[in-house]
Amino acid sequence: MQQDTYFCVLTMQQTVRDTTAIGTFADTIKPSPRTTRADIYEMAIGELTRLRPELTDGIVLFFSLDTNQL
């Protein structure tokens, strides 16, 4: 059975030496049947910090995961 498509948004912030970096990951995701909400949370952090390494070990300001269908 195929899962629904989800829309995920995650925003992180990291301050290093008086400089603040903020970044947002936003994408649609079609998870496999055994994927958990925590798995997607970790995946979103991993993707955002891969694209924006300065956010590594930053704090999560916002996380949302909802079905993409209106």
In this structure, are residues 22 and 60 in contact, taking their beta carbons and an 8 Å threshold? Answer: no
Q: Tell me if 65 is assigned to some domain.
A: no
Banded model confidence at residue 17, pLDDT cuts 50, 70, 90: confident
Range of the domain at 44: 1-18+37-54
pLDDT at residue 2 greater than cutoff 70 = no
Q: Tell me if 29 is assigned to some domain.
A: no
What is the distance of C-alpha 16 from the center of its chain?
A: 21
- As a whole number, mean pLDDT of residues 3-31 equals 95
Banded model confidence at residue 16, pLDDT cuts 50, 70, 90: confident
Q: Tell me if 68 is assigned to some domain.
A: no
Q: Tell me if 41 is assigned to some domain.
A: yes
Q: Tell me if 50 is assigned to some domain.
A: yes
Q: Tell me if 24 is assigned to some domain.
A: no
Integer CA distances (angstroms), 50 to 2, 23, 67, in order:
28, 11, 25
Q: Tell me if 59 is assigned to some domain.
A: no
Q: Tell me if 26 is assigned to some domain.
A: no
Report the domain count for the chain.
1
> What's the pLDDT score for residue 21?
96
Higher pLDDT, 16 or 44: 44
> What's the pLDDT score for residue 29?
96
Backbone angles phi, psi at 28, to 5 degrees: -90, 145
